[in-house]
């Protein structure tokens, strides 16, 4: 008997379209599978679930689905919301659980975990909408290192991110960040190589398997061997420290003199054609269907 698999995509977040692409990539990769009976669960922008085009409640899936593949991005999908729903109705699902997802989505809490593991991360401050007065912004401009990066505290992808060099930049950047999150994170800008590294649980006889680090989406990176090893170790530490499961993707910047800094972690990396993770998988000779089957098997083992 085939395993009844639901692919969750869409969702009421700013990353709706990206999630549709990731979800479609998963659906296409598994469409001819003899192992899975694949169902499309589209969650619309209002949060209504649709099973193969028919509106349903989450509870309706209980006797119809064996396991869920979480192809959502951003709020609702990565912040622990859908994870909590699926935990409550006892449907196993891919990716991290509700608490670990919430920790990973909150960039400030994630940074705290990085520091606990002795992983360097750029200094930062949080700024809520209520706090963002003209006077407060002037204080920040006088006291915080410039240039800096302003980003939403809880948002995926690169939405709402700005590099700030002037006071007017700061005002504009904060307003832009608030479009995606009620709190903005203002972070020291560190120049260097933009590096990402994926981690997979229980893959190829390794409890934590690290993919080849990528640079600006290209694989492999131009890191030397010691830098590459340090990035891999940091990515594994982050995955474990936040209690993540199945797979994750951490972003770093490697400064030529100051070394490696962790920026953030992505608990549900994109899986569409332009995404980094499929390129990283291809670089180690793993196809997307093979990876998906491994992740789904991990979810079912729970």
In this structure, the answer to whether residues 14 and 129 fall within a common structural domain is no
pLDDT digits (tens, 9 = 90+) for 21-42: 999 999 999 988 999 999 999 9
- Cis before residue 212, ω within 30 degrees of 0? no
Least confident window among 151-165, 167-181, 217-231, 242-256: 151-165
Mean pLDDT, the chain, whole residue set: 95
- Is residue 238 in some structural domain? yes
Residue 99's pLDDT band (boundaries 50, 70, 90)? very high
- Is residue 43 in some structural domain? yes
pLDDT > 70: what percent of the chain?
Answer: 99
Burial 55-66 (b: 16+ CB within 10 A, else e): eeeeeebeeebb
Structural contact between residues 126 and 185, judged by C-beta atoms closer than 8 angstroms = yes
Q: What is the mean pLDDT of residues 266-293?
A: 95
In the predicted structure, residue 157 carries a pLDDT above the cut 70: no
**How many domains, in total, are found in the chain?**
3
Q: What is the mean pLDDT of residues 99-106?
A: 96
Question: Structural domain of residue 148, as residue ranges?
Answer: 124-188
In this structure, the answer to whether residues 8 and 90 fall within a common structural domain is yes
Closest CA to 236 of 219, 249, 225, 226: 249
pLDDT, position 259? 95
In this structure, the answer to whether residues 244 and 211 fall within a common structural domain is yes
Structural contact between residues 113 and 141, judged by C-beta atoms closer than 8 angstroms = no
In the predicted structure, residue 133 carries a pLDDT above the cut 90: yes
Secondary structure of residue 145 in the 3-state scheme:
coil
pLDDT, position 155? 77
Q: What is the mean pLDDT of residues 102-114?
A: 95
- Is residue 63 in some structural domain? yes
Give the domain-ending residue among 133, 162, 188: 188
Q: How many helices (H) and strands (E) does the chain have?
A: 9, 14
In the predicted structure, residue 117 carries a pLDDT above the cut 70: yes
In this structure, the answer to whether residues 79 and 150 fall within a common structural domain is no
Q: What is the mean pLDDT of residues 4-32?
A: 95
Identify the H or E element spanning 126.
strand 124-128
CATH number, domain of 247, equals 3.30.470.20
- Is residue 129 in some structural domain? yes
In the predicted structure, residue 10 carries a pLDDT above the cut 90: yes
pLDDT, position 245? 97
pLDDT, position 238? 98
Give the domain-ending residue among 188, 208, 225: 188
CATH number, domain of 43, equals 3.40.50.20
C-beta pairs of 209-217 under 8 Å, 24+ apart in sequence? 210/235, 210/236, 211/277, 211/280, 211/281, 211/283, 211/284, 212/280, 212/283, 212/284, 214/276, 214/279, 214/280, 217/276, 217/279
- Is residue 290 in some structural domain? no
- Is residue 75 in some structural domain? yes
In the predicted structure, residue 285 carries a pLDDT above the cut 80: yes
In this structure, the answer to whether residues 234 and 115 fall within a common structural domain is yes
pLDDT, position 154? 87
pLDDT digits (tens, 9 = 90+) for 41-90: 999 999 999 999 999 999 999 999 999 999 999 999 999 999 999 999 99
Alpha helices in the chain (DSSP H): 16-30, 81-88, 98-105, 107-116, 134-143, 167-178, 225-241, 276-283, 288-301
In this structure, the answer to whether residues 155 and 221 fall within a common structural domain is no
Q: Is the dihedral of CA 169, 174, 178, 181 positive or negative?
A: positive
Both ends of the chain: CA-CA distance in Å? 20
In the predicted structure, residue 202 carries a pLDDT above the cut 70: yes
In this structure, the answer to whether residues 50 and 33 fall within a common structural domain is yes
Spatial CB neighbours of 88, under 8 Å, sequence gap ≥ 6: none
pLDDT, position 38? 97
What phi, psi does 169 have (nearest 5°)?
-55, -45
Residue 93's pLDDT band (boundaries 50, 70, 90)? very high
């Amino acid at each position: 008997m085939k395993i009844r698999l639901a692919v969750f995509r869409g969702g009421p977040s700013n990353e709706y379209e990206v999630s549709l692409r990731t979800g479609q990539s998963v659906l296409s990769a598994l469409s001819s599978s003899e192992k899975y009976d694949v169902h499309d669960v589209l969650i619309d922008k209002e949060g209504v679930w649709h099973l193969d085009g028919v509106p349903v409640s989450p509870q309706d899936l209980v006797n119809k689905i064996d396991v869920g593949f979480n192809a959502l991005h951003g709020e609702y999908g990565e912040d622990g919301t859908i994870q909590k729903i699926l935990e409550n109705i006892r449907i196993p699902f891919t990716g991290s659980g509700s608490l670990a997802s919430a920790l990973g989505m909150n960039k400030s809490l994630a940074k705290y975990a990085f520091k606990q593991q002795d992983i360097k991360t750029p200094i930062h401050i949080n700024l809520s909408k209520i706090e963002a007065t003209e006077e407060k912004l002037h204080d920040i401009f006088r006291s915080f290192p410039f240039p800096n990066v302003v980003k939403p505290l809880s948002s995926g992808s690169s939405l709402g991110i700005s590099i700030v060099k002037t006071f007017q930049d700061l005002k504009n950047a904060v307003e832009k960040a608030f479009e995606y999150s009620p709190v903005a994170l203002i972070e020291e800008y560190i120049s260097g190589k933009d590096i990402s590294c994926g981690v997979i649980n229980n893959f190829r006889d390794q409890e934590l398997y690290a993919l080849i680090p990528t640079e600006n989406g290209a694989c492999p990176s131009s890191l030397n061997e010691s830098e590459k090893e340090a990035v891999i170790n940091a990515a594994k530490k982050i995955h474990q420290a936040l209690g993540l499961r199945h797979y994750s993707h951490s972003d770093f910047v490697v400064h030529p003199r100051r070394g490696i800094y962790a920026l953030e972690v992505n608990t549900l990396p994109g899986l569409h054609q332009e995404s980094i993770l499929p390129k990283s998988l291809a670089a180690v000779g793993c196809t997307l269907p093979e990876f998906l089957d491994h992740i789904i098997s991990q979810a079912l083992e729970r």
